[in-house]
Structure 1
């Protein structure tokens, strides 16, 4: 479980104000904007609010529930970042080490300056990509799905897609390494496949497959019983289908729970977006971070390492690091640590929050945030792509923080 249920007032929250979340949830479902959703609000070790509304599968009429399994997509990234930092604690590398120490395919990288798909113009990278560059999305790598730059197009042309590839993690990383970078390493913040590269780096350094490392060293020790890269047959009845808005504005199925690609083991375990999980499981991960790297007597990271991961590693906020083309976060007032966004200034971000709070979201509109100063975490689960369809995350932040009473 993500913690024992408690009365909101016992942990400094208003029951009356938390109940405002319920009609908000209902409105999204009854208006046909979301198939179903669940919200968990936990503070001071107890769960003060945990509700589910709507359906996890429209065709089958399956209710959304607390144990519904969903695609968390990029909420995989903090777990992958935890994995590489566990190896960091073992003395295997330093954050400023070039990744070429372990992945020689990234030697002699070039950076795109212009040209076309057939005749790209490039210059040599001024330095190698470092491990910290990968953790902070300042490596110069990108995502093919963004469809906004020539490098994005090259990714699509060469099959650099960790979600759909059927070869191997090493193969897709090697394909990416043969293509130019979008920017000089360290120069800009660009959301990217960097965390997928970190997954491969974990496998190379640890000498075991990445998915094996994640299961044996993080998922099982933390008691995340429903978290994996696919959904076994005996759990498919609890797995949600995934939706998008069709041209008519109605919810349209894009990945079926029982017959989609998560119903079988994946050839490429995506460290950037491959996991499925539940509210209870991800709540355990949030408690682990709030606990400074330990949960229920199991310590995976030292508290100073967690403090480093949850600090801002950028010179300023995301808005100052070039012109980000996509993020699971806003840009002004938000920095980035080693695997999480970091709240720097709620006034600049124009949203309620606390400096030092860490967060991220997934492509199907899922989200979490962890507020160490308030000893609080919140998890939002649903299945609607893309995550920018509705402002559910910002609305839930306001509803949640408005319920604090001490």
Structure 2
């Protein structure tokens, strides 16, 4: 399904000439070889105001970006998995304060890294168990192997967890591997980006009694009409965008070694980064959230998820452990599956307090601004997302186009 403009910019409080600056600005990223192509969709009150595509979804094959192009969402999967968990929470299957070891016993007696090297790490007992809310907020102490910022993430790489899951491991085995590794910090005391949402996906499987893809398909994707969203596509699927990384000269270089994983059904479907989707499908997901659940979730559940749940109501800047993340840290808190803007001034980036968002490792991004009733989705395929300041530039160009 494609995505079409539903209302004229002027009717939705936008200056059409200022919106046009968006396309011209990001076209330069393609014209000078930094990106292959991109897609942008902006909606207000759930109606698309601006939709544009530019460049190639597969530069080597000469295939242009089209409205129905398929994109690797990577960490934009995390909000979907978080919604899946909260559907079960609404039904009373667990409390947010429950230890996850109730369903995943391998996490019962966790150890926390204290000092030492990769070859000889010293650990101490966890002061409290990992709880469900720790997974939703990335305060569990679990980390990612690809961060390259700590002894603990080096231990993840040693165990086979870098950009991908250990070959041959399913989701249950991966969680057992994570539980055998030390935590980066005591649960609930800091914020660290990691495999928390993958473990949350496994929790969904155990509680629901079905695989994560099946639960997400039947409880979220089908009710919302997200028929192009999946964990893999058929080999050679022509709508699939190619994946790129920056080369030594700054121009994109194709990265099939990781990109081709989109054509393989995953043995360990990642709740933290596995989905492939279209702009039209993800627009449906964002619109559901903007409309406060729209019958899928309860309005108060969405309101609760999008508050700052960090201990002491502090900014991420106060409790973050560094490394890669899909957000700035200043003036930003974290809810149940999303970063949440507390105050846009410290980061010097346009947005409204209460805006919630996330992004993907291949430079995709989305945000939902309940104050301005705005949803934005940007799609491209360049690893890592920190290569260019695409997200702050999107914000300053979009918000400066609002006229009402």
1:373-399: CA deviation from partner (whole Å, max 9, x where unpaired):
111101110000000000011001000
Hey, what does 2:304 align to over in structure 1? 308
* Offset from partner CA, 1:62-92 (integer Å, 9 cap, x none): 0011211010100000000000000000100
Q: Name the counterpart of 2:344.
A: 346
Whether the 8 Å CA contact 2:35–2:251 is kept in 1: the answer is no
Structural mapping, 1:32-47, within 5 Å: 32-47=33-48
Q: Distance in 2 between the 1:255 and 1:278 partners?
A: 20
Query: Compared with structure 1, are the counterparts of its residues 192 and 300 closer, same or farther at alpha carbon in structure 2 (3 Å cutoff)?
Result: same
Corresponding residue SS for 2:237: helix
What are the within-5 Å matches in structure 2 for residues 1-400 of structure 1? 5-160=6-161, 163-165=164-166, 166-233=168-235, 236-255=237-256, 260-294=260-294, 299-314=295-310, 315-400=313-398
User: Cα offset for 1:256?
Assistant: 7.3
SS in 2 for 1:112: strand
Q: Give the CA deviation at 1:4.
A: 5.3
- Which whole-Å CA distance do the structure 2 matches of 1:34 and 1:112 have between them? 39
Distance (Å, rounded) in 2 between the aligned partners of 1:161 and 1:172:
12
Change (3 A) 1:252 1:360: same
Q: 1:263, CA displacement in angstroms?
A: 1.3
- What's the secondary structure of 1:348's corresponding residue? coil
Q: Distance in 1 between matches of 2:6 and 2:63?
A: 25
Judge conservation of contact 1:225–1:281 (CA < 8 Å) in 2. Answer: yes
| Structure 1 residue 368, shift from structure 2 partner | 0.2
Which runs of no fewer than 5 residues in structure 1 stay unpaired? none
Q: Deviation per CA, 1:300-339: give whole Å up to 9, x if none.
A: 2101001011111112110011443221000000110000
TM-score by length of 1: 0.96
**Conserved in 2, the CA contact under 8 Å of 1:162 and 1:169?**
no
The 8 Å contact of residues 135 and 338 in structure 1, kept in 2 or not, is answered as: yes
SS for the counterpart of 1:347 is coil
RMSD over aligned CA atoms reads: 1.5
Change (3 A) 1:350 1:31: same
Q: Distance in 2 between matches of 1:210 and 1:131?
A: 16
Q: Per-residue deviation at 1:219?
A: 1.1
Give the Cα–Cα distance (whole angstroms) in 1 for the partners of residues 231 and 370 of structure 2. 29
CA contact (8 A) 1:162 1:268 kept: no
* Native 8 Å contact 1:2 1:287 kept in 2: no
Distance 1:164 1:110 in 2: 22
SS of structure 2 residue aligned to 1:140: coil
**Shift of residue 245, structure 1, vs aligned partner:** 1.0
SS in 2 for 1:384: coil
- Normalising by structure 2, we get a TM-score of 0.96
CA deviations on 1:182-201 (whole Å, 9 max, x unpaired) are: 00000100011000000000
SS of match in other structure, 1:352: coil
Per the TM alignment, residue 161 of structure 1 is displaced from its structure 2 partner at its CA by 5.2
Answer yes or no: is the 8 Å Cα contact 1:98–1:131 preserved in 2. yes
Q: In 2, Cα distance between the equivalents of 1:36 and 1:293? A: 32
Question: 1:108, 1:225 → 2: CA distance?
Answer: 41
Q: For the residues of structure 1 that align with 2:5 and 2:27, how far apart are their CA atoms?
A: 25
